[in-house]
Structure 1
Amino acid sequence: MSASLDNRPSLTTRDGVGSPSAAIAVLASCGLLVSLVQTMVVPLLPRFPRLMSVSPSTAAWLVTATLVSGAVSAPVFGRLGDMYGKRRMLLISIGLITMGSVLGAIAPNIVVLLLGRALQGVSFGVVALGISLMRDILPTERVGSAVGLMSASVGAGGAVGLTVAGAVSQWADWRWLFAGAAIIALLQLVLVSRLVTESHLRSGGRFDGVGAVGVGAILICFLMGISKGSEWGWTSPTVISLFVGAAVLFTLWVGWELRASGPIIDLRVSVRPTVLRSNLATVLIGFSMFATFVLAPQILQAPVRTGYGFGLSLITSGLALLPLGGCMVAFSSTSAWISRVYGPRLTLVLGTALMAVGNIGFALLPGSVWIIVAVATVGAIGSALAYSALPLIIMYAVPETETAAANSLNTLMRQLGNSTCTAIAIAVTSALTINVGGESLPSGTAYGIVFTIAAAAAAGALVIGLLTPTADAAQGMGKRAA
């Protein structure tokens, strides 16, 4: 085992009096903010071309801008957190989210709105910083349950965010979404500053500016290709150039990082079997989980005449999927217990198995709303188990001074899985359509194919979990729990 959670400073606030429960609650609630920011514009995307007088492709940048800025900022803030303090970088990140939300609420045009969404993208690194901070400041016996709760809060917030966004899109001005996000972010800023202490662990060294620019350029090229491939054409010169550019830049960046004294991402640590396999599993899990968030609302809202839809309204479909978030939070304590007693690898295996079952259930296109909710809940429970296990596996495999950077990279892998799922879902549902009342809609076969791929991704993550060497981590957790 490369690192230990023992011999860490006890939790205290700046005035010397602290509460682990308060810190856990505050940090876990950051996950709700993150998922709200990420999902808040999804139900409104079809309306933004009219609201902002722009083309649909330009409006789609409201998602792309957040994705790209988040992918770049996550590893950067993770490394800065290890160097200068995780709580400090967490506060800066939440401050930028607040600024972005305010800009979105008052945006007079699409340019300012896109800038606000880009600033909100900094939220991608918040969960990684929060989880790493938990490791440093919480009593050892509470780390597992705290990490599980924060991981679950991201999924729970996604379910809540879609429901709230749907309600706002029907009954209020869209700017209230951004105003609400700004108020929540400001509250988080106050709570973190008052109730969460700073970690005393520092990696030191100099910031790798070249490495940061390099990883940013790679991610921009790759994620732009993934997110816009279906719109621009997968074989178009622009998309091919983006992928080739990403490959060339990646080769040059690897050479630089291996020579750098303080790399933005320590590749020698990242290629350790446990870390590498965990990150590969995260990409597959991100793909598998996001299929439900992207496609389940569409199935519930599709007209009954399609043969698979239920004709629900935007808000009703959101309410139908709301139990997913509650189940993810409820099972966070179960995941922590399994990881503490049997090791996080078993938690990962159980979670990915449930995710595979849930996606297979969706692929069969059930004819009942209640069955839809049931299979979605099974998948959500699996996601809660899997995502709570991954940070624990990684934290036991890297030095304490690199946990924020390692968890930020893992967060990036999840977004990569989400982006790939979105791209494939768009490509398949656009290619396989049916005509319903003069309107072209995705066919049931299209949804079945995407969910089958998602089930295969979960199965792949399950296999990786079985091959992940976490015996030492599990043994160490058992000793600490005793």
Structure 2
Amino acid sequence: MSERSNAKKREELPPDGRADKASGASQTSTARPGSRPRVLWTEERGSAATESTKEERALKGRLPASGASQTSTAASQTNTSVCLHLPFACMMQVMTTAPEKSSNPTLLIAVLCFGGLLASFMQTLVIPIVGKLPEYLDTSADNASWVITSTLLAAAVGMPIAGRLADMFGKRRVILGCIAAMIVGSVICALTSLVIPMIVGRGLQGLAMGLIPCGISLLRDKLDPARIPGAIATMSATLGVGGAIGLPVAAWITQTFDWHVLFWTSAGLATFTFLLVFTLVSESHVKSPGTFDIIGAVGLTAALVALLLALSKGATWGWTSAMTLGLTAAGVAVLAIWGWFELRTKTPLVDLRTSRQPVIVLTNAASVLVGFSLMAIGLAAPQLLQIPNIPGLVDYGMGETILATGLILAPGGLMMMFLSPVSARLNIVIGPKFTLLIGASVIAAGYVTSVFLMAEPWQILVANIIVSAGVGIGYSAMPALIMSAAPLHQMAAANSLNSLMRSIGTAIASALLATILASSVIDLGGGQSVPSESSFRLVFIVGSVAAIGAALLALSIPNKYVRPTKSLGAIETNDNAEAAQNA
């Protein structure tokens, strides 16, 4: 179709380029005299009309590259368009397009959130039996620790790969693949008492973490704008809720039944979730065709494995050992080469050009620190609760059982879930930047409380609830900030990278805080020792410092990039808001 016939289908604006308020979203702007052509995104999902060059589209980052004939045909299919003509076009602009409809949005949210809970549950599944794993698997404690390390590594590596595959081939397909990996891994673990198959099975279970960022992106594609903030807040909360709720459940199962039942239970729940997603969730049509960056995937995997192994095993191998230093140096070198390659490939695994936008860089940095803060309380509180109380020697010990410990910590996870609507409302009213600031500040307050209140179980419960509340608020803001800057066709990859940053934060916390707890111990005799009270306080202080750092990063996000929209719960640029006000 000719350009003239396409132009007739567009509504012309006054010479100053401002839209008539009465016309609403159906109007679009045309190029001003002497200005560069505009990019038009139609309200019909997936169709685009453009007059811009391919380079300009890449700069604006909102539409996948396509031929002129395709965009002309798409423009002729609809008369209503929304113009994306501002730099750093944000979520407000893409959210004004008509979303893909789901037969039951509430059911969609419930199914994906249940899957997210189950995926995060995999991270704490073996915590109640970690001390008995050497006996169960007839191996050394060092070898048994790989049962946990393999899950961490698989989750970290799998999330960015799952995000890119979801953008290419469909989010529902990748979600089903993540759940299938969880099923296979659970069955392998349930059928074995050997360490190698157990490590393999736990690694497959770790791949399920790719479900959460892909689920967030799928909710973004399928829901009406008004429901997106609440859905994203709830889905984000599953990162912490699943582990918190799963801990007492796993403890009860292991104390009541054979430990293999733990994995049969996870296999059954995963199969049920697979069937729910397969029958009730439809595929998103928002995709980014292209070739998969195999070299980038291999490079990122090698770098992450090397760095995370050095972090997780440094305390065992020695921080100055040749193995630890060698892996660290290799990881940094491979990561640098990987970044150089990603900037030069046409279809990168992670679009570093987009990821270096200030809002994404600062949000991902804050995610590392928030993930660190979550791990601090998760690592210290269970040990503090379970240490035996020995008058005159370990007066601070509380002597709680594993099940009681799980029940004491479970309210923290429930608080994250209960605060999801509040977090969503904060994202709408004050914007995700200040929501993240509030969340980090609440985390810091929780750790300050724990420094002074750590003598009774109820005090640990209160401190954990405060910290979990802050984490829940912060977790809901991060995807909103990412989606305010990431291109629509790279949404899953951007969310996966953000989830990876949180995992890196927890890995760093696990290594650093374990070293702190081991640096000052009390000898109980018989080869047993427990961390001293001062080491627990130091862990809580470090957690508060990390939370304060996250708050400062949130505060430093430039205001011009993020602004709340009360009507749709979306995120838009200040420039776009000013243009609307001046219209």
The aligned residue for residue 397 of structure 2 is: 309
Does the alignment pair 1:101 with 2:186? yes
Q: How does 1:79-98 map to 2 (within 5 A)?
A: 79-98=164-183
Q: How does 1:47-446 map to 2 (within 5 A)?
A: 47-305=132-390, 306-436=394-524, 438=526, 439-446=528-535
Q: CA deviation at 1:261?
A: 0.1
| Structure 2: tracts of 5 or more residues without a match | 1-87, 571-583
2:441 is aligned with what amino acid? A
Q: CA deviation at 1:174?
A: 1.1
Aligned-partner Cα distance in 2 for 1:471–1:182: 47
The DSSP-based 3-state class of the residue aligned with 1:440 is strand
The aligned residue for residue 15 of structure 1 is: none
RMSD of aligned Cα (Å): 1.3
Q: CA deviation at 1:56?
A: 0.3
Aligned-partner Cα distance in 1 for 2:446–2:193: 43
Q: CA deviation at 1:430?
A: 1.3
1:444 is aligned with what amino acid? E
The DSSP-based 3-state class of the residue aligned with 1:259 is coil
Q: CA deviation at 1:130?
A: 0.4
1:2 is aligned with what amino acid? A
Does the alignment pair 1:460 with 2:554? no
Query: In the alignment, is the contact (CA less than 8 A) between 1:9 and 1:200 conserved in 2?
Result: no
Does the alignment pair 1:29 with 2:119? no
Are the structure 2 counterparts of residues 254 and 154 from structure 1 closer, same or farther at C-alpha, using a change threshold of 3 Å? closer
Q: CA offsets, 1:405-431, max 9 Å, x none?
A: 011111111111111111112111112
Q: CA deviation at 1:365?
A: 4.7
Aligned-partner Cα distance in 1 for 2:454–2:341: 51
Q: CA deviation at 1:436?
A: 3.0
Aligned-partner Cα distance in 1 for 2:230–2:251: 31
The aligned residue for residue 4 of structure 2 is: none
Query: In the alignment, is the contact (CA less than 8 A) between 2:369 and 2:550 conserved in 1?
Result: yes
Aligned-partner Cα distance in 2 for 1:220–1:450: 26
The DSSP-based 3-state class of the residue aligned with 1:441 is strand
The aligned residue for residue 7 of structure 1 is: 97
Query: In the alignment, is the contact (CA less than 8 A) between 1:107 and 1:113 conserved in 2?
Result: yes
1:76 is aligned with what amino acid? I
How many matched pairs? Answer: 476
1:409 is aligned with what amino acid? L
Query: In the alignment, is the contact (CA less than 8 A) between 1:339 and 1:474 conserved in 2?
Result: no
- Stretch moving more, 431-440 or 344-353: 431-440
Aligned-partner Cα distance in 2 for 1:207–1:470: 35
Aligned-partner Cα distance in 2 for 1:367–1:429: 17
Identify the structure with the greater helix proportion. Answer: 1
Aligned-partner Cα distance in 1 for 2:267–2:560: 43
Q: CA offsets, 1:224-282, max 9 Å, x none?
A: 00000000000000000001001111121111111100000000011110000000000
Query: In the alignment, is the contact (CA less than 8 A) between 1:365 and 1:444 conserved in 2?
Result: no
The DSSP-based 3-state class of the residue aligned with 1:240 is helix
Q: CA deviation at 1:60?
A: 0.3
The DSSP-based 3-state class of the residue aligned with 2:530 is strand
The aligned residue for residue 13 of structure 2 is: none
Are the structure 2 counterparts of residues 481 and 236 from structure 1 closer, same or farther at C-alpha, using a change threshold of 3 Å? closer
Aligned-partner Cα distance in 2 for 1:244–1:83: 33
1:450 to 523, 533, 539: 539
For normalisation by structure 1, the TM-score amounts to: 0.96
Q: CA offsets, 1:312-357, max 9 Å, x none?
A: 1111111111111211111000000011111111111111111011
Q: CA deviation at 1:171?
A: 2.1
Q: CA deviation at 1:369?
A: 1.7
Aligned-partner Cα distance in 2 for 1:384–1:371: 20
User: What is the identity percentage for the equivalent residue pairs of Structure 1 and Structure 2?
Assistant: 38
Q: CA deviation at 1:471?
A: 4.8
Larger radius of gyration between Structure 1 and Structure 2: 2
Aligned-partner Cα distance in 2 for 1:218–1:472: 31
The DSSP-based 3-state class of the residue aligned with 1:434 is strand
For normalisation by structure 2, the TM-score amounts to: 0.80
Aligned-partner Cα distance in 1 for 2:449–2:560: 32
1:460 is aligned with what amino acid? G
The DSSP-based 3-state class of the residue aligned with 2:522 is strand
Select the structure with the greater relative contact order (CA < 8 A; seq sep ≥ 6): 1
Aligned-partner Cα distance in 2 for 1:469–1:165: 43
